[in-house]
Amino acid sequence: MEWQLDPGVASKLYDVFTVAGLRVDAIEPGRALICSFTVPPRLTDASKRMHGGALASLVDLVGSAVIFVGGSPTTGVSLEITISYLNAARANEEIEIDARVVGIGERRGCVTVEIRKKATGEVIAHGRHTKYLAVSSKL
């Protein structure tokens, strides 16, 4: 599955700009979402390494998606995102994003997201994402 840019999503342009080309490789219902992504030059810095902000966006967006895969009726809002940057991915390098549910409660959910080089398995970044999931009142 590949996400395509839809002209009608102007309000979500940054999200789409970041994840355009993201492929869903595996879904483990209730537990995990594994994606792959070829680092596009548009998401690299002057040294042709994937920008830390782009990695943070992947932790946020794929972390939110795995909350939904985990069975939550909403992806909620972020309470906390922590990321350890351990290595770098370069332009046109294939990476893998492995998002796993730590736990989903009535009001909060927590996931981990590991981003690694697909060819070697070397970890690029490790993130933890906590979300507030309570559905707002319809009043």
Q: 1: pLDDT confidence band, cut at 50, 70 and 90?
A: very low
Answer positive or negative: Cα dihedral of 43, 48, 53, 57. Answer: positive
Q: What is the pLDDT of residues 58-81, one digit of tens each?
A: 999 999 999 988 888 888 899 999
- Report the SS3 class of residue 52: helix
Q: Under 8 Å CB-to-CB from 117, ≥6 apart: which residues?
A: 87, 89, 93, 94, 95, 96, 124
Q: Smallest Cα–Cα separation from 127: which of 66, 45, 72?
A: 66
Strand 94-104 versus strand 32-38 pairing type: antiparallel
What are the structural domains, with CATH classification, of the chain?
10-132 (3.10.129.10)
In whole angstroms, give the CA distance from residue 136 to residue 120: 43
Q: What is the pLDDT of residues 5-45, one digit of tens each?
A: 455 544 455 566 677 889 999 999 989 999 999 999 999 99
Say whether pLDDT at 100 is over 60.
yes
Say whether pLDDT at 3 is over 90.
no
Which of 10-14, 27-31, 102-106, 124-128 is least confident?
10-14
98-133: string of b/e by CB count within 10 Å (b at 16+)? bbbbeebeeebbbbbbbbbbbeeeeebbbbbbbbeb
Answer positive or negative: Cα dihedral of 76, 81, 62, 102. Answer: negative
